């Protein structure tokens, strides 16, 4: 699964139409450049690749403010919308992806109905529990992981990580079930995007590539 693809498609979807500068600005505002591979080059590459694959429709709209080729705005196609929701559901369900994929999924979870998100997260807990059981059943020596010397600490890390993720996921399910946040079909959800001229306090620097 690709976190950068989910992030880019989700950012474009929130705007309806967006150019590369807006997508990059939003992802930096969300801190995605710290917890994922959402670096400038990766963002622009993902936009262009998604357009080539028919997931985004590219529009040349106006000359770049820094000269060069016209600015390109992107919008999701029907295939792009389908891909976005497929990636989002996988991100909320799977337990074995990197933290960037799960983080992206949590960031866009309100695009799905509340009950579906709870169901997806419950599936994730089930997979975590199955994985934990398989680890302790097949890889724990009869006298405990300490029998493996310091290598046993790897197992401690795996099991503790699974337990921690399970606790966090159960807490999130409880908060959602208690009415936290606004999900699809419930009204206007929170949308954390910046206006075109709004300064970004988390920007990593100037954006000389805003023509893309």
pLDDT tens string 138-196: 666 566 656 667 777 777 788 888 899 999 999 999 999 999 999 999 988 776 766 66
Tokens of 199: 């300064």
Q: Which candidate, 117, 95, 104, 106, places its Cα nearest to that of 46?
A: 104
- Say if residue 4's pLDDT is above 70: yes
Q: Are 13 and 76 in contact (CB under 8 A)?
A: yes
Q: Which candidate, 144, 98, 91, places its Cα nearest to that of 117?
A: 91
Give the residue carrying structure tokens 């934990």: 132
User: Is the pTM here over 0.75, yes or no?
Assistant: yes
Q: Which candidate, 143, 14, 158, places its Cα nearest to that of 84?
A: 14
Cα(44)–Cα(22) distance, integer angstroms: 11
Q: What is the phi-psi region of residue 140: left when phi exceeds 0, alpha when psi lies from -120 to 50, beta otherwise? A: beta
Q: Which candidate, 109, 126, 19, places its Cα nearest to that of 69?
A: 19
């Amino acid at each position: 699964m690709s976190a950068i693809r989910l992030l880019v498609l989700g950012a474009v979807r929130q705007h309806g139409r967006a150019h590369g500068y807006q997508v990059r600005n939003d992802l930096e505002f969300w801190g995605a450049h710290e917890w994922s591979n959402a670096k400038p080059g990766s963002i622009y590459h993902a936009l262009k690749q998604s357009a080539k694959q028919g997931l985004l429709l590219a529009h040349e709209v106006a000359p770049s403010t820094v000269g060069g080729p016209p600015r390109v705005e992107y919008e999701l196609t029907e295939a792009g919308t389908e891909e976005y929701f497929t990636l989002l559901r996988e991100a909320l369900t799977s337990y074995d992806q990197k933290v960037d994929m799960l983080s992206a999924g949590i960031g866009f979870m309100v695009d799905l109905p509340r009950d579906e998100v709870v169901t997806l997260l419950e599936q994730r807990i089930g997979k975590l529990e199955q994985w934990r059981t398989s680890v302790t059943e097949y890889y724990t020596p009869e006298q405990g992981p300490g029998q493996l010397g310091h290598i046993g600490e790897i197992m401690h890390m795996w099991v503790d990580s699974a337990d921690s993720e399970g606790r966090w996921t159960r807490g999130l399910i409880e908060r959602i079930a208690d009415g936290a946040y606004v999900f699809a079909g419930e009204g206007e959800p929170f949308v954390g995007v910046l206006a075109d001229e709004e300064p970004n306090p988390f920007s990593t620097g100037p954006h000389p590539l805003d023509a893309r």
